[in-house]
Amino acid sequence: MIKSPFFEKVKNTYIQIIQSMSMKPSDRDDLMVDYDSNLDHLFLSDMERLSAATELLIKAKELDDKMTVQAALVYIRISSVRLSGFFENITDDADLFLKKSVGPKISDTYKVPEHYNYPYK
């Protein structure tokens, strides 16, 4: 389960990476995440919209209200596209950091050290 303020932690860590990389202003223009916004609020707002649209779809389907079913599907699509863009922005910035990084390359045999307690292999 993701705990709040998860996305704010990601954003704040990204900001630290930006600062440590001494990125040029032209490179900062390529960043996709809105670092002035509260990412947790953006995410939760989009999830609430998706949830409301899903509930609307369920009710409209139960009542066989074809017009409202169509509207609910449009709302679900809009919310899903926004959420997809939200995650795509996080991904795009991670890609940019990796591209601009001067750190060591990760070998094929690399494993996260046990002391991090990282649960995935």
What is the extent of the structural domain holding 74? 37-90
- Quick check: is 103 in a domain? no
Q: Is residue 77 part of a domain?
A: yes
Question: Using an 8 Å Cβ cutoff, are 76 and 50 in contact?
Answer: yes
Residue 79 falls inside a structural domain: yes
Q: For residue 80, tell me if it sits in a domain.
A: yes
Q: Supply the mean pLDDT for the chain.
A: 92
In a domain, 71, yes or no: yes
In a domain, 109, yes or no: no
Each residue's pLDDT tens digit, 44-98? 999 999 999 999 999 999 999 999 999 999 999 999 999 999 999 999 999 999 9
Domain count for the chain: 1
* pTM for the whole structure: 0.83
Q: Is 110 part of a structural domain of the chain?
A: no
pLDDT exceeds 60 at position 2:
no
116 located within any domain: no
